[in-house]
């Protein structure tokens, strides 16, 4: 792969956006549907809010290419495309005064992306490690690793074949989206002698104390579901799908880097998803649905057909495997204070998009809503946008 092929095709854009509670804050919203397991494909569009409607900033990925995966970290979105075999990584960076949209080729030597991880190497800033697999039926499969350093500004990013830093680094990720399709990041890890080891394609590893208990000191496997400067969220791997379906809850473990303590967090719904926003752990309640109960909410079933950005919402619900039931319940738990707030909309298509200070932005069907986080409830909720394309929005990037 020549260096010329690795040059970013960068378009630097500056757009005003609005949070009705803070005129100085810019908000960007990504509408996209990953169809890595479907024949149809949809575009990835970046929006802002203007006069209660979505205003298109840029079509980042056309529908002719489609989306394979989307990942979010601290003001950066990475989008893999095309939708079946990604060969290009699109980058959206909202960390600076100027919003940057760029792209770089991945796997252009015939290799296929099989895994993505977020790493935060010392002194080099945010990076994304891509494990690429290439081969054919006549010969052995060859694996290689490529690392894209998402330095700022993005136009100076580069793609390297090996990690030019110490093996000590920390894995960073935000967790799953709360929408009808699970589109999030996670990483498998091993617990040995009371410590968590993170394997990655480039050999990065970080060890931290794990929870005390009867399994401490023994080898165990778990999945990291979220990580930031203070907290690490992980869950020990459990048994079969049948065991998950029979359970009413599951337990995540929260490691606090400041206190070096691990605390269990019991989550209702054995298929529930979690996302980390600063001190806030956002839980989307998801239950097994092997008897195929209809997901609740009038809009989710009678008014939301397919759009140019997404297939019908009920189609996405129906294709979840294993079958899942969304009661329309989201819980926000402040990991620093212990405060808990429950949002119960009764609409399956409910999703919390982000927490900014004491403001929460969430989506119910075709509406984007902003509210204030109180002691035990969301107050002063206000619809900030309503549009048919809101149903495809699963990511929010706060700008400067």
Pair 92, 70: CB distance under 8 Å: no
d(CA 7, CA 66): 22
How far apart are the two ends of the chain, measured CA to CA in Å? Answer: 35
User: Half-sphere exposure (CA, 13 Å, Cβ side) for 169?
Assistant: 26
Q: Report d(CA 223, CA 185) in Å as an integer.
A: 10
pLDDT at 167 over 80: no
Confidence class for position 10, pLDDT limits 50, 70, 90 = very low
Per DSSP bridges, beta strands 142-149 and 127-134 are antiparallel
Enumerate residues 6+ apart whose C-beta is below 8 A from 318: none
Q: Per the structure block, which two tokens stand in for 156?
A: 């100076």
Size of the chain, expressed as the number of residues it contains: 400
**Is there a contact between 373 and 359 (Cβ–Cβ < 8 Å)?**
yes
Cα(193)–Cα(196) distance, integer angstroms: 9
Distance separating alpha carbons of residues 318 and 378, to the nearest angstrom: 30
With beta carbons less than 8 A apart as the criterion, state whether 212 and 196 touch.
no
For β-strands 367-373 and 127-134, DSSP reports them as: unpaired
Backbone angles phi, psi at 6, to 5 degrees: -95, -5
pLDDT 10s digits, 107-148: 655 555 444 444 444 444 445 555 444 444 444 444 444 444
Question: Both tokens of residue 170?
Answer: 């920390």
Peptide bond just before 206 cis, omega within 30 deg = no
pTM comes to 0.80
Range with lowest mean pLDDT among 176-180, 220-224, 350-354, 355-359: 220-224
Q: Supply 292's token pair.
A: 């195929």
Taking residues 178-190, what's their average pLDDT?
76
The answer to whether the beta carbons of residues 38 and 84 sit under 8 Å apart is no
Dist CA 50 CA 46 (whole Å): 13
Tens of pLDDT, residues 320-339: 888 899 999 999 999 999 99
Q: Residue 208: is its pLDDT beyond 80?
A: no
Q: Which long-range contacts (CB under 8 A, 24 or more apart) does 306-309 make?
A: 307/388, 307/389, 307/391, 307/392, 308/42, 308/43, 308/63, 308/389, 309/31, 309/32, 309/33, 309/42, 309/43, 309/45, 309/389, 309/391, 309/392
Which one is predicted more confidently, 317 or 162? Answer: 317
User: Tens digits of per-residue pLDDT, 221-264?
Assistant: 778 888 887 888 888 876 677 787 788 899 998 888 788 788 89
CA distance 216 to 181: 34
Res. 212 pLDDT band, cuts 50 70 90? low
Percent of the chain at pLDDT exceeding 90:
34
Is residue 355 helix, strand or coil?
Answer: strand
Is the pLDDT reported for residue 185 higher than 70?
yes
d(CA 128, CA 131): 10
The helix/strand/coil state of 7 is: coil
Return d(Cα 116, Cα 123) in angstroms, integer: 21
């Amino acid at each position: 792969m020549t260096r010329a092929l690795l040059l970013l095709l960068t378009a630097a854009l500056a757009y005003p956006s609005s949070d009705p509670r803070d005129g100085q804050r810019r908000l960007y919203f990504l509408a996209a549907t990953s169809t890595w397991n479907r024949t149809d494909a949809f575009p990835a569009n970046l929006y802002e809010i203007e006069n209660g409607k979505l205003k298109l900033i840029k079509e980042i990925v056309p529908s002719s290419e489609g989306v394979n995966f989307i990942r979010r970290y601290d003001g950066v979105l990475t989008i893999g495309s095309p939708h079946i075999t990604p060969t290009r990584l699109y980058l959206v960076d909202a960390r600076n005064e100027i919003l940057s949209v760029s792209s770089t080729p991945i796997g252009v030597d015939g290799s296929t992306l099989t895994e993505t991880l977020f790493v935060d190497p010392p002194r080099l800033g945010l990076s994304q490690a891509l494990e690429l697999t290439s081969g054919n039926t006549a010969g052995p499969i060859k694996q290689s690793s490529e690392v894209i350093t998402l330095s700022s500004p993005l136009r100076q990013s580069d793609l390297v074949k090996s990690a030019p830093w110490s093996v000590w680094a920390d894995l960073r990720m935000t967790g799953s989206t709360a929408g009808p399709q699970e589109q999030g990041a996670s990483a498998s890890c091993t617990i040995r002698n009371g410590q968590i080891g993170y394997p990655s394609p480039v050999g990065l590893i970080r060890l931290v104390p794990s929870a005390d208990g009867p399994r401490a000191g023994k080898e165990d496997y778990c999945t990291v579901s979220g990580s930031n400067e203070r907290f690490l969220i992980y869950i020990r791997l459990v048994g079969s799908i049948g065991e998950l379906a029979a359970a009413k809850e599951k337990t995540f473990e929260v490691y606090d880097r400041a206190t070096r303590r691990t605390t269990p967090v019991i989550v209702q719904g054995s298929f529930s998803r979690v996302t980390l926003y600063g001190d806030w752990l956002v839980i989307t309640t998801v239950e097994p649905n092997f008897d195929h109960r209809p997901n609740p909410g009038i809009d989710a079933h009678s008014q939301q057909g397919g759009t140019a950005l997404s297939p019908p919402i009920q189609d996405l619900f129906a294709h979840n495997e294993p079958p899942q039931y969304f009661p329309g319940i989201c819980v926000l738990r402040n990991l620093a204070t212990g405060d808990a707030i429950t949002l119960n909309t009764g609409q399956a298509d409910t999703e919390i998009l982000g927490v900014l200070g004491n403001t929460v932005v969430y989506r119910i069907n075709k509406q984007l809503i902003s509210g204030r986080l109180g002691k035990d409830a969301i107050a002063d909720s206000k619809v900030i946008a309503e549009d048919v394309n809101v149903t495809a929005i699963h990511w929010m990037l706060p700008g400067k």
